[in-house]
Chains A and B, each alone.
Chain A
Amino acid sequence: MIEKLHAAALGKTIVIAGLGGLGGYAAAELARYSLDSLILVDADTFEPSNMDRQLFCSTCTIGKSKALSTAQALAKFSSAKIVPIEENLSFANGSLLKDADLLLDCTDSVKSKLELEALATFYGIPMVHAAINNLYGQCTVIFPNDNVLEKVYGKKERSTLPTLSFVPAMLASIQVAEALKTLAGMPTLRHKLLILDTINNDLRILNIKV
């Protein structure tokens, strides 16, 4: 099984949209596989308030580009080509997905998540979605034309509460596992929504009707 997952990553290109809590941890894990390229997309810079949970936020990177800082850190140990893009992924620069095999949604708003889902459908690639709020989070795998996120969120923007470091770390690990399983053609969370409650150690998988 381990060999199969390693092989699935070999030579692939993965795009990570959003390099905050989820994206930082996910990038650190994915950079350890034999990918061809890992494309890191985020227009933001690190702020002091990110220090509590964002892996690559440090006194040295505050005020600096998240994409660039993360890429510099990953280049120290990754064999993949690390490509930082200091923009947010949207329809305007969606061609970044042209040669990608998979997209990781690590963004922080319903609007951007819905846009990424539409973009992944347009470019015909799967997307692994994750989101966190307070002390819980969710993850699912979306294939082109599944249109899952509107079924989950509706179209309404949702406010979020502060979180702690272990929540994005745990959800990002689940997200990476789902990404590798998706590339390997194994069963995933497609059509299902995983919800992890870190306080009660409760992990539930809900069926989402499509």
Chain B
Amino acid sequence: MIKVEFFGLYRLDLGVAEMTVEAASVKEVFEIIEKQYGKYTAEELKNSIVLVNGINFLKLKKSRTKLQKGDTVFIMSPASGG
């Protein structure tokens, strides 16, 4: 199982802090979120900040990043205001 945690706007908007999913890649996680909540498409979620075990998925294989049992995925919206 993969633990997915939401932060920022995603947490506020979806009203959920975390979920556990069966997924083999980040792309599959996005698809599950789209199907379950309907508020964000998998395509939109590609623009979020995604940390897989603390590493930004842009440094990995982006949404093609493979996931293994026990991995943690953080899905964050960016804060850049001052």
Contact = CB atoms under 8 A, between A and B. Distances in A.
Chain A bound to chain B: yes
Interface of A: 18, 20-23, 106-110, 113, 130-138, 151-154, 156-158, 160-161, 163, 168, 195, 197, 199-200, 202, 204, 206-209
Contact of B49 (A18, A137, A154, A204): A154
A178 to B, nearest CB: 16
Interface of B: 7-9, 11-12, 17, 47, 49, 51, 53-56, 58-59, 74, 76-82
Contacts of B74: 206
Most buried by B among A22, A134, A157, A199: A134
Contacts of B54: 206-209
Given A133-B77, A134-B12, A151-B56, A20 B7 contact: no
Nearest to B5: A204
Contacts of A206: 7, 51, 54, 74
Residue from B53, B55, B77 whose CB has the most chain A CB atoms within 10 Å: B77
A21 B56 contact: no
A133 B79 contact: yes
Contacts of A151: 55-56, 59
Given A106-B82, A204-B7, 10 more contacts: A108-B80, A131-B81, A136-B9, A136-B11, A136-B12, A138-B79, A158-B78, A161-B9, A195-B79, A208-B54
Contacts of B7: 136, 195, 197, 204, 206
Nearest 5 A/B pairs, CB to CB: A158-B78, A108-B82, A160-B81, A133-B79, A131-B79
Contact of A200 (B11, B51, B82): B11
A106 B80 CA distance: 9
B76 A108 contact: no
Nearest to A18: B82
Contacts of B81: 21, 108, 131-133, 160, 163
Nearest to A192: B54
A199 B74 CA distance: 19
Contact of B80 (A135, A153, A207): A153
B6 to A, nearest CB: 10
A134 B81 CA distance: 9
Contact of A23 (B9, B47, B59, B82): B82
Contacts of A199: 12
Nearest to A134: B9
Contacts of A207: 54
A132 B79 CA distance: 5
Contacts of B78: 110, 131, 133, 153, 158
B79 A136 contact: yes
* Residue among B8, B17, B79 facing the most chain A CB atoms (10 A cut-off): B79
